[in-house]
Amino acid sequence: MTGTVLPPLAPGAIPPGQAVSPFPASSPVTWGRTDQGVDGETTPGSPLLAMGSGTVTIQHDPAGFGTSYPVLSTSFGEFYYGHSVPVVADGAQVSVGDQIAIAHTGTWGNSTTPGGFEIGSWPPGSMVAGGAIRSWLIGLPRI
């Protein structure tokens, strides 16, 4: 599934229980610009959830997304959670809705604000790739 580019999906287009927003309903989210992924901001320290069931790998990119950050491989794609801090180990098996990271309480990688995030398809694409999944991400149900 490496490099899967997801088409924009209408809210409710994903079968119930298969995918959820990475942001719990209790956490505020401000969606920002798109580049390789979708940027935004949430409360620093907020939990970040597995969008689907799958395997988490921990990637390292101190100049970009942070010293370590999770990448989630699911049946419907692979996604990086940039500028976040993993709370599960490399190779962890997770279920939809499990916590896999927290929003950083400082800045991590090239983020500019505490609680800043970037979520996108793995591996990161061009600097316009985030536009292809923005509507899809925003349309995911929040639990």
pLDDT tens digits for the chain (143 residues)? Answer: 444 444 444 444 555 668 999 999 999 999 999 999 999 999 999 999 999 999 999 999 866 888 899 999 998 889 999 989 999 999 999 999 999 999 987 665 555 567 889 999 999 888 888 888 898 899 899 99
Distance between CA atoms of 141 and 20, rounded to whole angstroms?
Answer: 5
Q: Please name the helix (run of DSSP H) or strand (run of DSSP E) that holds residue 26, with its range, or none.
A: none
- The span from the first CA to the last CA of the chain, in angstroms, equals 26
Beta bridge partners of 40: 31, 117
Distance between CA atoms of 91 and 117, rounded to whole angstroms?
Answer: 22
What are the E-state strand segments in the chain? Answer: 29-34, 38-42, 47-49, 54-61, 66-74, 77-82, 84-86, 93-94, 99-103, 116-121
| pTM assigned to the model | 0.85
